[in-house]
Structure 1
Amino acid sequence: MSDTIDFGIDLGTTNSAIAVVEEDGSTTVIKNNDGWDTTPSAVWIPEPGTVEVGRPARERMESDPDNCAAEFKLEMGRADAGRTFANAGVSLSPSELSAEVLKSLRNDVAHVYGTEPDAAVITVPAAFTLNQNNATKNAAMLAGLGTACPLVQEPTAAAVAYGFDDSVQQGYWMVFDFGGGTFDAAIVSKQEGDLRVLNHAGDPYLGGKLIDWVIVERLLAPEVSRQLGLGDFRRDNPAWRVNFGKLKQAAEKAKIRLSRSESALVMAELNDGDGRQRTFRHTISRGEVDALAEPQYVRAINLCHNALAEGGLTPADIDRLVLVGGVTLMPGLRERLADPKHGLGVELDYSVDPTTVVARGAAILAGTLRRPPKPHDPAAGAFSVTFTHAPVVTVTRPAIAGELRSTEPVDWTAYSLVFDNPRAQPPYRSPRVTPNAKGAFITDVDIDPNAVSRFGIELLDSTGSRQKIAPDTLMITHRPVDVPSVTLTHSLGIQQADRAFAPLLRKGATLPARVREVFRTSGALHRTDTDVVIRIPVVQGESSRGDRNRQVGMLEIRPQDVRIDLPAGTEVEVTFEVDMSSLVTVVADVPLVQTQFEAEIDLDNVGTPSAQVLEERLQEAESRLGRLHADVDARGSEAARRPLSQMDMETLREQVNAAAVDVGAAGVAEERLRNLQADMDDIEEVLVLPELIDQLRSMLDELDTLLQRTSSPTARQEAADLRRRAESAIDAEDPAAIRKLIDRAGALIIDLERRGQDWPVKLFYYLRQERAAMRSASSADALIREGEKAIAAGDLAALGGVNERLFRLLPPDARENPVIGVQKS
């Protein structure tokens, strides 16, 4: 058995595949019982105890929909998702359904190699969130693949398969992976044997399935209603669930045919509502489908542009665009991609097999990862060795490192190791290697280039006699190209008290990763205030607003958790740790009380909003969008008008309507609504930018006036620094930075005002304006009269007492929020 994992699995929305890396470095796709390279990701349970996966299941999707399931990958990570099989009386979650697909792939391996793999590298979309990755790990465990199955992003795997081809020259390219359920893009660099993924972008709900449903809803459903005379023929009407399922299958088949022809006939046997089956026929054209798919094309291309911009690149820097996924076979998409004005204008590369390239890349990566270690206690009188070096290297004289073990105390310095490779060219035998007193050792060996070198391991005692050791062989593979590191595909951090996002680990960070950052509490935590809590949301995403990103966990510190009161500004050290599969641990340490708090990251109970909630959110978004259109028209801002014109509200409305009958559609709708709100945030920032700039400059001028009254060098230095940073933020047109500078300028103005003799008077007039919000109108009125008399008498000391009592009349949320957050230290 190999030292490395070797098997790679593409667990796809529509089809899945498994590949293995051979000893010579080549990859082989393992065919299933039908002789196919791919297995449809579909499950059919016609009766208790019978589970069919792949072709038989997909063929029953139309005729037996109550006992079939497909496209469940889009529902991964949602606790309320699942499929019920009527005849068997069982319900399976998306993870359990995916496990059945993985079991089928393992069985295919056993048919060829005699044994099932106990580990594999499994690919996931780059845009998968933490709960979706966690659900994939659960599926692997349910399928018998154990807990040590690394997850690798699909575009990374495709890039590896493409980049390891000797015919691929150095340069930059982009993987454009438009599959059945998801879209991913990756920018890749190959320079002098170094293969690196520079950036990712993607959408876990942008795929061929979305285009299929657009065809159904806008082309086929209206025609069915007309031909068959069906009233209320809508996807969200449960009475027509079977009909819409058949139309979905027919739309997918027609879309595939349109890749090779200008038109396609759609046919389906549909129920007419009276129990009779009627044949529906309708011809659709390639042009119609391309027009309907245009918003999906635009979204994918925009994601590519965003990924390039983040990396400081343009399409002109990319040598070729590697097409992966079934949707990339659509001629309309290819024409759009090749267009330098409306697409990317990059040379298209069709050289990879879009159906197996991801599995092949996963297998290559699996060949570089050591198999999960198994407990191996040596027998009495025998010895064992554990290796810690890389099993795949790019040099021909690598280091071998490890540690010897025994059941009894041993003076390891009396022993030595020899590594022997008689098949090497020329044959190789290492000098004796002496371990240290703990049994640890490291040495260099010679290996053959572009080959697998297999060494026999000899353990010699002080007399030169060989001792039994397990394992007694070792393999090291040389490859001229180094595989890229696994990287983080979404930034991870916390939402601060002001709702700003503080990323601790940025998108693109190499995994595994660990980072620590210090924050300070925005308020005090008193042990007597049982309702107060320090709450630190853990979020994932790229928006500068924390609440526009996806919350994945929560750190909470309550009064009963600490033994002393925590003043405002207490240090909180937050540590993020992420493993190679993007699974996260978050810990907060409060040095003042020497206590740690671990975030509750519950990835197993992420639910889906109800159809009613999604409808309410959509109405709110549509109302806000209407106001934005009016603002943009009034201000004539072309920079804001362009992104507004690209918002696909029609598809979003269709997904919200379908949410009541399709959890997958609800997931799409939830994600799109979150993205829509974030996009509108950005547009609003563009619109208010001139006002923010004016406000900041006005406050800086006010600061200059106040500084004429003080001789404080510290205040003057801070004001000068503020002005310098302000000009930089204004030049960069950065609304978030400008807002922060406005807040800082405001704090400095207040600080300077407090030093003036008239500060109590100014504070009194501010508090008087807040009279309507105060808890007791009669007490407030009495204090206001008292304050006015103090001002008339010039008694500032009395006025200070009035101000303090007025402040206490303000509601708690105006004085101190009972939910305390943190701010950067």
Structure 2
Amino acid sequence: MINFGIDLGTTNSAIARFDKGQVSIFRNPLGQKDTLPSVVAFRKDRLLVGEKAREYLLRAPHQVAAGFKRKMGTDETYYFEGADLVKTPVELSAYVLKELKNFVHTGERVEAAVITIPASFDTVQSNATREAGHLAGFEEVVLLQEPIAASLAYANKDEADSFEEGQWLVYDLGGGTFDVALVHIRDGEMRVLDHEGDNFLGGMDLDRKVVEEIIVPYLEAAGHFHSLLKEMKSASGRYNALYHKLLHLAEEAKIQLSVAEETEIEFETPDDRGEPVEVLMSLKRSELEVLLEPMLEKTLDMMRSIMQRNALKAEDLKFVLMVGGSTYIPYIREQVARRLGIGVNTQVDPTTAVAVGAAFYAGTKARKHKSGSKTANTASQAAPPLKVKTAYQKASQEEKEYFTAIFEGDLSQLYYRITRHDGGFDTGLKALPEQIQEYLPLLKDEYNLFTLHILDAENNPLELDLPEIGIAQGRYSVVGQPLPHDICIEIDDVENQQTGLEVVFEKNSVLPLKRTLTKQITRTIAKGSDDYVVIHVLEGPGHALPAANQPIGFIQISGKELERDLVKGSDVEIVLEMSESRDLKITAYLLMTDQEFADVFTPSKRYTSRQRLIGSLTAMLHTIREEIYEAEMQGNYEAAQKMVDLEYELLELLDKSEQMAEDDVTDEKYQIEDRKRKIAQLVDAQTRDKHIIKVKNKYFQAKRNVEYVLAQYDATEADQQAFREILAQEKLYLASNSSLKIQAVIDRLNELNVRVVWRSPKYLVELFTDLAQGRRGRFMRPEDAAALINTGWKAIEDRNFDQLRICINQLWHLLPPQAREEQQKFSGGTGIG
């Protein structure tokens, strides 16, 4: 088993180990604390991690990095001035993970670990966390969502007699992130049913508010400063070092106010004139609570959203489980209980619960890869005589647990026996079948160890290197991890000259996941050309516009990679697989060229600059103002007012972006970008109705057209059946409120329409007559058209309808483009639809 669990936190990290049903936290050898500050410093050629690095923050903040978890998956870097080094958030996280390895005093090597992530982390951030684990030397990394870990810590705590099954909310407010999850346990199985979260909401934001809204105004009144806050937040600003120092002091004051009503902040700094400004100011808990209120309300809104989505009332929930260092703040505990009407549960240590739960989970996860040295040793040995696969629950509430093992190889004259280590159970010697099935009796509230023995006819054991069977009775495990967001691919919506999204994996689906899609190529790609098709994968609501979602990565296939031309309308088979740790694998197979493209997926990184942010906010403002104008012209003042509210919020975000320094050291630009994306989703949601109404009207028109041609022309029973099959699914299509799904049905109706009428002599004669009499427009080459018309009349006379179809087709292409009403070619997009 993996056994080791790690909470890689924004402000503090911890490591724990599962051993025989129990979990123990490893303490820092220096100071014997349960946690390690997630802080890294370089002092000339020395690397400092943890408490020493945090202490160094006050003396040389430009040599120290903290809070880098919030920038995982971005292109941000940290520059360490004295050492002249540049490090990424992934590299800094790897230093923290390496330092945690030093906590393990048992002498064993930590080669695999379960590392926790916020449930709201997107796939890009998850990939970055896994990368940090591998960089730290872990051969195997399994990611676990923090609310699940916290719930496992609670459900598996030693006071098991007080535990009752049911459902509750996990309120996880840490130093940098917030998660709320709905957790349900029934019949010994734990499931996460739903979640919400914010990757940029935590204790650090409260520290920043204390600095910016209390300390900075105090400083400006006490000394002579110009643009103090901007100079603080700019990496090259005069007071940037002071900013980091004040954040540290604000954090210390916040911690003190968890147990005291008032504290003091003391420091000294020169002002713009070089004159010293001595500060000794008091900070009251009530002042902190005023700053905390907007943050708290955000978290409560997310909790209410989950309850509303799942039709839950306060009495349906047992409690709110409080996790994360920021939940030590009394105001948070009091207000969550009062405003939601649900009691709070503080029975787990908020700072170590996630690491403990991760270790419980690690105790149920078998290793997939063995270390290099062990592999090298076994490689030289002879292959084992049998292949064995075992399956059983590693944690159980039952008195007996089902165990099965499948064997491949020569089983003749072989026997098996399963014994429990305390001597209380023995299957006895049995002939070895291809599959063993046994119910193993468990000692209550104990870690039960069994050994599977494989013996030959002389009762000699075979050397199979079988792991022991370990089952923790009275412990809980989780039934898979839920997917936190929809995973979509971007496809061409040729009808509306844009791209849309198709959901591949839905939010809250249990990982791992796999799906095969067959899509059509929407434009011809010539062999050897620079043109391409792209399979673009995004994360976020499937009903939103692609621009409102987070890109994960893409596969791009260019003409230079093709062995023959890829013709419009040909099929591409796309296989998407997502592991439990949200590692995404994509394979694309082009049926026409018989080519497979695998292991060419290019993962995305989050790139956000101030100028790019300003540009996208300005463009969104333009879109919103167009929607406001259209709504007002139609007299829809309620919709217009909703858009005006979003316009005001966008203007506020734009103002913040314009005031921000280009080298701003905070993560405010990521907070603005996240909010901008959510506003884009709200705009899409509020304007989707009018687009849905339009496409539904098109559907009903297409339906009426088919009803007419089926009644008027020579429809077959197969045509009638095809129409009935479409109508049978009508409610489902329309209820989806997906313009792409409804458009796909419209396309099927139009194809049926054309198939019926194109077969009908009556329709062919009517269409030819229209063309011949000029009702469809003047022909571009009159002489050629006249000859075709004569041929057509003769074909009608001879009842040669195949010839008539040829004449109609050629006449149609002699019409001017505008008369043909051909759909304009959609040359943009992805190339798949």
| TMscore range, shorter length | 0.7 to 0.9
- Is the counterpart of residue 636 in structure 1 residue 637 in structure 2? yes
Q: Which residue of 2 aligns with 1:777?
A: none
Mapped partners of 1:652, 1:326: distance in 2: 32
Change in CA separation of 1:287 and 1:705 when aligned onto 2, cut-off 3 Å: farther
Preserved CA contact (<8 Å) 1:120 1:149:
yes
Q: Secondary structure at the match of 1:172?
A: strand
Report the Cα offset of residue 11 of structure 1.
Answer: 0.3
- Between the aligned partners of 2:19 and 2:775, the Cα distance in structure 1 is 76
AA in 1 matched with 2:366: R
Q: Which of 814, 817, 821 is the aligned partner of 2:827?
A: 817
Distance (whole Å) between structure 1 residues aligned to residue 689 and residue 341 of structure 2: 28
Gaps of 5+ in 1: 405-409, 769-780
Displacement after TM superposition at 1:442 (Å): 6.2
**Residue 822 of structure 1: SS of its match in structure 2?**
coil
> Could you tell me how far apart the structure 2 residues matched to 1:763 and 1:323 are?
79
Amino acid at match of 2:509: A
Name the counterpart of 1:9: 6
1:665 corresponds to 2:668: yes
CA contact (8 A) 1:37 1:356 kept: yes
Verify: 1:401 aligned to 2:374, yes or no. no
How far does residue 76 in structure 1 lie from its aligned partner after superposition?
Answer: 1.4
CA distance in 2, matches of 1:766, 1:103: 79
Whether the aligned pair in 1 keeps the contact of 2:484 and 2:508 (CA below 8 Å) is yes
Point out the more displaced range, 129-138 or 795-804: 795-804
Correspondence for 2:149: 157
Three-state SS of the structure 1 residue aligned to 2:667 is helix
Residues 641 and 693 of structure 1: CA distance in aligned 2, closer, same or farther (over 3 Å): farther
Instruction: Name the counterpart of 1:772.
Output: none
CA contact (8 A) 2:538 2:549 kept: yes
User: Corresponding residue for 2:164?
Assistant: 169
Q: 1:542: which partner in 2?
A: 541
Matched residue SS, 1:814: coil
Q: CA offset at residue 506 of structure 1? A: 1.9
Alpha-carbon distance, 1:157 to partner: 0.7
1:448 to 421, 427, 443: 443
* Farther-moved stretch of structure 1 (377-386 vs 556-565): 377-386
How many angstroms does 1:587 deviate by?
A: 0.6
Q: Specify whether residues 527 and 383 from structure 1 end up closer, same or farther in structure 2 by C-alpha distance, changes over 3 A only.
A: closer
Q: Does 1:194 align with 2:189?
A: yes
Residue 802 of structure 2: aligned partner: none
Percent sequence identity is 25
Specify whether residues 782 and 466 from structure 1 end up closer, same or farther in structure 2 by C-alpha distance, changes over 3 A only: closer
Question: What's the counterpart of residue 503 of structure 1?
Answer: 503
Given that residues 14 and 352 in structure 2 are in contact (C-alpha distance below 8 angstroms), is that contact kept between their aligned partners in structure 1? yes
What SS does structure 1 have at the residue aligned with 2:824? Answer: helix
Distance 1:381 1:324, change over 3 A: closer
Counterparts of 1:276 and 1:593, CA distance in 2: 75
Of 81, 90, 105 in structure 1, the residue corresponding to residue 85 of structure 2 is: 90
Q: 1:308 Cα shift?
A: 4.4
Contact 1:45 1:85 in 2 (8 A): yes
Q: Contact conserved, 2:258 with 2:329, CA < 8 A, in 1?
A: yes
Q: Say if 1:160 and 1:361, in contact at 8 Å, map to a contact too.
A: yes
Moved more, 631-640 or 664-673: 631-640
Aligned-partner Cα distance in 2 for 1:485–1:765: 67
Q: Are the equivalent residues in 2 in contact too, given 1:25–1:451 (CA < 8 A)?
A: no
Bigger drift between 271-280 and 540-549 goes to 271-280
C-alpha distance in 1, partners of 2:644/2:327? 25
Deviations 1:678-724 (A, max 9, x none): 22211222566667767766776787778876564788887888788
Provide the residue aligned with 1:773 in structure 2. Answer: none
Distance 1:324 1:764 in 2: 79
Q: Distance in 2 between matches of 1:734 and 1:179?
A: 37
Deviates more, 1:116-125 or 1:665-674: 665-674
Match of 1:141 among 120, 134, 146: 134
Instruction: For 1:382 and 1:537, locate their aligned partners in 2 and report how far apart those are by CA, in whole Å.
Output: 43
Query: Within 1, Cα distance between the matches of 2:80 and 2:98?
Result: 19
Displacement after TM superposition at 1:107 (Å):
0.8
Cα root mean square deviation, aligned: 4.5
Structure 2 contact 72–90 (Cα < 8 Å) conserved: yes
- Superimposed CA distance per residue, residues 314-354 of structure 1 (whole angstroms, 9 cap, x where no aligned partner): 555333221222333445544553455xxx44332222221
Q: Structure 1 residues 663, 467: closer, same or farther in 2, change over 3 A?
A: same
* Contact 2:261/2:284, CA 8 A, preserved across alignment: yes
Contact 2:60 2:241 (8 Å CA) reproduced: no
> Is contact 1:243–1:271 with CA below 8 Å preserved after alignment?
no
SS at match of 1:619: helix
Alignment counterpart, residue 111 of structure 2, candidates 104, 110, 118: 118
Take 1:724 and 1:703, find their aligned partners in 2: how far apart are those partners? 15
Tell me the distance in 2 between the aligned counterparts of 1:585 and 1:432.
45
- Residue 612 of structure 2 aligns with which residue? 613
Q: How far apart, in 2, do the equivalents of 1:586 and 1:812 lie?
A: 35
How far apart, in 2, do the equivalents of 1:432 and 1:211 lie? 65
Amino acid at match of 2:22: G
SS at match of 1:185: strand
Contact 1:176/1:184 (8 A) holds in 2: yes
Tell me which of 59, 63, 71 is aligned to 1:67. Answer: 63
- Quote the residue 1:569 is aligned against: 569
Q: Which string of whole-angstrom CA distances, capped at 9 and with x for unpartnered residues, describes residues 612-632 of structure 1?
A: 111212222344445556666
* Paired residue type of 2:394: V
Candidates 368, 388, 408, aligned match of 2:390: 388
Paired amino acid for 2:427: S
SS at match of 2:131: helix
Maintained 8 Å contact 1:81/1:663: no
CA deviations on 1:213-258 (whole Å, 9 max, x unpaired) are 3443444434433432211223354323122223322333344444
Match of 1:423 in 2: 422
Residue identity matched to 2:200: Y
Which of 10, 20, 24 is equivalent to 1:23? 20
Query: Partners in 1 of 2:379 and 2:116 — Cα distance?
Result: 36
Residues 5-50 of structure 1: CA deviation (Å, up to 9, x unaligned): 22211000011111222324354454552121211111122120x2
Stretch moving more, 185-194 or 308-317: 308-317
Contact 1:760–1:803 under 8 Å retained in 2: no
- Contact conserved, 1:520 with 1:570, CA < 8 A, in 2? yes
Deviation digits for residues 177-206 of structure 1, max 9, x if unmatched? 122111212211111211111223322223
Q: What is the SS of the residue equivalent to 1:538?
A: strand
Q: Deviations over 1:551-582 (max 9, x none)?
A: 22222333344444333322221111122211
For residues 467-486 of structure 1, the aligned pairs below 5 Å read: 470=465, 475-486=470-481
Work out whether residues 321 and 349 of structure 1, in 8 Å CA contact, stay in contact via their aligned partners in 2: yes
Query: Quick one: distance in 1 between partners of 2:775 and 2:189?
Result: 63
Cα distance change on mapping 1:289 and 1:464 into 2, 3 Å: closer
The answer for unaligned runs of 5 or more in structure 2 is 494-498, 794-806
Residue number in structure 1 paired with 2:803:
none
State the alpha-carbon separation in 2 of the partners of residues 760 and 285 from structure 1: 89
CA contact (8 A) 1:639 1:686 kept: no
1:469-502 per-residue CA deviation (whole Å, 9 max, x = no partner) reads 6468554433453433223222223111122221
Please give the secondary structure, in 1, of the residue aligned with 2:100.
helix
Q: Which residue in 2 is equivalent to 1:225?
A: 220
**Against the structure 1 CA distance between its residues 809 and 612, is the aligned structure 2 distance closer, same or farther, given a 3 Å change threshold?**
farther
**Residues 102-140 of structure 1: CA distance to partner in whole angstroms, max 9, x if unpaired?**
122111112xx2334222211011122222222212222
**Does the 8 Å CA contact 1:523/1:567 hold for their aligned counterparts?**
yes
Are 1:37 and 2:34 counterparts? yes
Aligned to 1:590: 590
Query: Cα 1:278–1:546, aligned 2, differ >3 Å: closer, same or farther?
Result: same
CA 1:433/1:274 → structure 2, altered by over 3 Å: closer, same or farther? farther
Superposition pairs for residues 346-357 of structure 1, below 5 Å?
346-357=342-353
Distance in structure 2 (CA, Å) of the matches to 1:226 and 1:811: 71
* TM-score under structure 2 length normalisation: 0.81
Aligned to 2:365: 369
Partner of 1:77 in structure 2?
73
Question: Judging changes above 3 Å, is the alpha-carbon distance between structure 1 residues 767 and 684 closer, same or farther for their aligned structure 2 residues?
Answer: farther
Count of aligned positions: 789
1:51 to 47, 55, 70: 47
Indicate how the Cα distance of structure 1 residues 53 and 766 shifts in structure 2: closer, same or farther if over 3 A, else same: farther
Query: Secondary structure of 1:429's partner?
Result: coil
